[in-house]
Amino acid sequence: MAQRVQGTEDLYGGYMRAWERMCRTAGELFGSYGFDRIETPAIEQVATFVHGIGESTDVVRKEMFRVFSGALMERLLESGSESGLKAKQRLALRPEGTAGVVRAAVEHNFVPQGASPVKVWYGEAMFRGERPQKGRLRQFHQVGVEWLGAEDPAADAECIIMLMEFYKRMGFDPSTLTLRINSMGDAACRPAYREMVRDFIYAHREEMCEDCLERAEINPLRSFDCKNERCREVMREAPLVTDNLCDDCREHYARVKAYLDEAGVSYVEDPTLVRGLDYYTRTVFEVEVAGSGVGAIGGGGRYDGLMELEGGKPTPGLGFAVGFERMALALEQQGASLEGERPACVYVACTPEERDAVFSATLALRQAGVRTEADYQGRSLKSQFKQADKEGASLCVVLGPDEVAAGVATLRDMSTHEQVQVPMASLVDEVRARLA
Ligand code: AMP
């Protein structure tokens, strides 16, 4: 039997409805903040991710799924090296959404000089070659937003407020969510801070792991994130970014916090929060569910230098992404479900002789937009009622010889089992009124 690839999941039934609900909620909520949906290709040039996400990140170094056509793969295996490949032949599946959106924004000039900001949201599959485990998949789904062209700290605060509202609408008890925020500084103050951290790591080189010593070369701030407990212990004594912000960054961060306070959004300041991707500047944030053990269910931040890294004009930007599968796990632990309700449904049941009458009744109901089910296996009336229950139908239309002869239909309420007869001519209106 063929099996799905390890670390991937099939979305069907209630799980699919949950993903659909997440996208629908995103469309409604983010739409009310002025975000339009975007979909960029699942494959991009590797360079897009290297510029955008950063050479030193695990995502780029170890976790990208590379894509080659069959013909190219053969050539590669023969030559044993990809050094002869052009940039447009080096492709990868997207590990996250931001780099592709920013690439599209540069390519189509979404934000011409002096234009107002552009806001987009996406709901897509992402691909990372991680070791599969609970809450860590190789293909997973994210809903996210990107807001390009806004430097105002109100934009950072609004993004975070919108994110916390999103969790609420998806069914989380807000008191179980921890929002952590930090400012990572900018091009003016971060380089000097980065040097301080590098010097600190070198001064403690005996106690740090190989990875951290390597990171010290390319991006020492990542050591705050090291999974090695000993490194984390050492890093607790490292200089903190919030003590080393320039005046502009300190002012920006203070205003973000003031707006969050005004909106009544509670947060924890965490000066060691450095998000995994290199491109972040100033505000960064992450959300966890207390005691869930599933890791972050979402996060994001500001990336004012990213448009330039992707070849565009200097344009500020910020965004976040929310993981669907982890949200589903965390909600399940809270005894809630992401699934949402199925649309109301009617079942048209009949005796075997009246099958043709069912055909025209179901046709009329479906054309009127009513979710309608019927029997296609010649079941008894009793087992059709059972089937109707299983489909979640709240109402049955029953067509027997007496009904058809009299030009009526029997409507059976599936919870009270009460029955009434209505003229066939008004069946659609009667069903719609009862389902509403
Ligand atoms: P990131 O792009 O790493 O900041 O991830 C944003 C969100 O996507 C996280 O908070 C998770 O909820 C989710 N996520 C990231 N990586 C994975 C993965 N491998 N499997 C499932 N969800 C993930």
Chain segment 202-220, per-residue pLDDT in tens: 999 999 999 899 888 888 9
Residues in the chain: 436
What confidence score (pLDDT) does residue 40 get? 98
Same domain, 320 and 351: no
What confidence score (pLDDT) does residue 125 get? 98
Q: Tell me the CA distances in angstroms from 328 to 22, 100, 237, one per residue in order.
A: 10, 25, 36
The confidence band for 289, taking pLDDT boundaries of 50, 70 and 90, is: very high
> Could you write out the DSSP letters of every residue in 189-203?
THHHHHHHHHHHHHH
Contacts for 422-425 with beta carbons within 8 Å, 24 or more apart? Answer: 424/361
What is the mean pLDDT of the segment spanning 236-245? 94
Which residues fall within 8 angstroms of residue 30, CB to CB, at 6 or more apart?
119, 121, 145, 162, 166
Same domain, 119 and 158: yes
What confidence score (pLDDT) does residue 276 get? 64
**Which of 283, 310, 333 lies at the terminal end of a domain, its last residue?**
333
Chain segment 366-418, per-residue pLDDT in tens: 999 999 999 999 999 999 999 999 999 999 999 999 999 999 999 999 999 99
Least confident of 102-106, 277-281, 368-372: 277-281
What confidence score (pLDDT) does residue 243 get? 95
Does 144 sit in the ligand 1 pocket, CB within 6 Å? no
CB 59 within 8 A of CB 35: no
Residue 381 neighbours by CB distance under 10 Å: 14
Q: Which atom of ligand 1 is nearest to the CA of 287?
A: 10
CATH number at residue 53: 3.30.930.10
Q: Three-state DSSP class for 91?
A: strand
Same domain, 263 and 164: yes
Question: Does the pLDDT value for residue 157 go beyond 90?
Answer: yes
Question: Does the pLDDT value for residue 275 go beyond 80?
Answer: no
Candidates 326, 327, 338: which one to mutate for ligand 1, based on the most atoms within 8 Å of Cβ?
326
What confidence score (pLDDT) does residue 295 get? 84
Chain segment 333-372, per-residue pLDDT in tens: 888 888 877 888 999 999 988 889 999 999 999 999 999 9
Residue 245 neighbours by CB distance under 10 Å: 23
Q: Which amino acid is at 314?
A: P
Same domain, 317 and 379: no
Candidates 59, 94, 142: which one to mutate for ligand 1, based on the most atoms within 8 Å of Cβ?
142
Chain segment 4-48, per-residue pLDDT in tens: 999 999 999 999 999 999 999 999 999 999 999 999 999 999 999
How much distance in Å is there from the Cα of 11 to the middle of ligand 1?
17
Does 193 sit in the ligand 1 pocket, CB within 6 Å? no
Pairing of strands 118-127, 36-37: parallel
How much distance in Å is there from the Cα of 108 to the middle of ligand 1?
28
Q: Does any domain span residue 233?
A: no
CATH number at residue 350: 3.40.50.800
Q: Does any domain span residue 204?
A: no
Same domain, 162 and 73: yes
Which residues fall within 8 angstroms of residue 270, CB to CB, at 6 or more apart?
180, 181, 182
Mean pLDDT of the chain: 93
What confidence score (pLDDT) does residue 38 get? 98
Q: Which atom of ligand 1 is nearest to the CA of 298?
A: 10
**Which of 305, 333, 361 lies at the terminal end of a domain, its last residue?**
333
CB 157 within 8 A of CB 256: yes
Per-residue b or e along 179-202, where b marks 16 or more CB atoms closer than 10 Å to that residue's CB: bbbbbbbbeebbeebbebbbebbe
Same domain, 145 and 165: yes
Same domain, 266 and 391: no
The confidence band for 51, taking pLDDT boundaries of 50, 70 and 90, is: confident
How much distance in Å is there from the Cα of 128 to the middle of ligand 1?
9
Quote the domain boundaries for residue 277: 13-189+245-333
Same domain, 304 and 326: yes
